[in-house]
Amino acid sequence: MILILFFLVLLYCSTQTSGVSIQIHPNNTNVILTELNKTVSLTCESDGVAEGDNTLVWLRNNAKINLKEENKKGRSTVCITPVKEDNGATFSCYLHSNDSVKASVTLNVTYHPQLSGSENVTFEIDETLVLQCDMRANPLLLSMSWTLNGTTVDLMAGGLSVTNDGVTSVLRASKVVRKLHEGTYECTATSPVYNSSSKVFNVIVTEKTLKFPLMPLIAGVVVVFVTTLLAVVSRWKKIIKCCK
Ligand SMILES: *[C@@H]1O[C@H](CO)[C@@H](O)[C@H](O)[C@H]1NC(C)=O
Ligand SMILES: *[C@@H]1O[C@H](CO)[C@@H](O)[C@H](O)[C@H]1NC(C)=O
Ligand SMILES: *[C@@H]1O[C@H](CO)[C@@H](O)[C@H](O)[C@H]1NC(C)=O
Ligand SMILES: *[C@@H]1O[C@H](CO)[C@@H](O)[C@H](O)[C@H]1NC(C)=O
């Protein structure tokens, strides 16, 4: 009887020391959905360590997070505020004494391009027209569209091109022509989850200004003046000599 009890106690103790479990709260299928500028608080708890070192360690993508001494024992909380470039970042927690049991969560930070307002932009005839809109978003945009005076830009007719590299959408015309390019442009970002946002550009086309090469001109004038002066001076000496 006593022997059985002894074994039970032994069994209990061994499950207590080796059956360590680490949990992070909240933990919705290991992905936490959040938004830019929000706050996320994660708590890690270790269960089953009756004795020994129950110091916890937190990692953000394999880099250790500095924790205060009182925020390490058995239970530890990290606060990400505000959430910034943390999309896809993985936070994991384990016991300092045994890193074989780890709990992890990954952040899914959603955001939408902050497109708003209107801007006046001036281009000279024959200049390169370039308009840019931010298109970084999570989830990815369904589309980024450009309109001119309210209708979809006619790339062929306008000699325009649109390039999207996932970071910015760029509308470009290599040579500005007033009747083709003056007007009101708008870029619109359409998302599967957010309301669409857009930005307006009022493009004004001005006459070419004569870009005079002023500095070389001044330098040239100075050189001519000085040479003439020197010539006159040396000539003057000769003239004076002659008269003596
Ligand atoms: C770490 O924990 C695991 C799982 O509980 C256990 O099997 C292992 O023996 C432990 N390692 C050490 C060094 O305590
Ligand atoms: C997040 O905060 C930054 C800085 O305060 C601000 O510029 C930006 O517009 C905010 N973004 C969102 C989506 O709220
Ligand atoms: C993140 O959340 C968005 C919105 O629910 C979803 O569309 C997207 O697939 C998620 N991304 C990942 C990597 O889980
Ligand atoms: C766009 O509208 C403005 C104002 O009505 C007009 O002056 C301009 O010529 C139009 N642009 C094009 C390319 O049709």
Mean pLDDT across 130-150: 97
Contacts made by residues 87-92, CB under 8 angstroms, sequence distance 24+: 87/111, 87/138, 89/60, 89/61, 90/59, 90/60, 90/61, 91/24, 91/42, 91/58, 91/59, 91/60, 92/24, 92/58, 92/59
Nearest Cα residue to atom 14 of ligand 2: 37
Which domains are seen in the chain, by residue range? 16-110 (2.60.40.10), 118-206 (2.60.40.10)
Quickly state the pLDDT bin for 99 (edges 50, 70, 90).
Answer: confident
Residue 115 CA: distances (Å) to CA of 82, 118, 143, 191:
21, 9, 14, 13
- Look over the chain and give the mean of its residue pLDDT values, rounded to a whole number: 86
Which atom of ligand 2 is nearest the CA belonging to 35? 13
CA 224 to ligand 4 center in whole angstroms: 50
Q: What is the pLDDT of residue 5?
A: 45
Quickly state the pLDDT bin for 237 (edges 50, 70, 90).
Answer: low
Q: What is the pLDDT of residue 51?
A: 60
Three-state secondary-structure class, residue 19: coil
Q: What is the pLDDT of residue 105?
A: 95
Mean pLDDT across 149-154: 95
Nearest Cα residue to atom 8 of ligand 1: 18
For residue 46, is pLDDT > 60? yes
Q: What is the pLDDT of residues 56-84, one digit of tens each?
A: 999 999 999 999 999 998 899 999 999 99
CA 11 to ligand 1 center in whole angstroms: 16
Is there an atom of ligand 2 within 6 Å of 136 CB?
no
Query: Measured in whole angstroms, how far is the alpha carbon of residue 80 from the centre of its chain?
Result: 18
Q: What is the pLDDT of residue 6?
A: 43
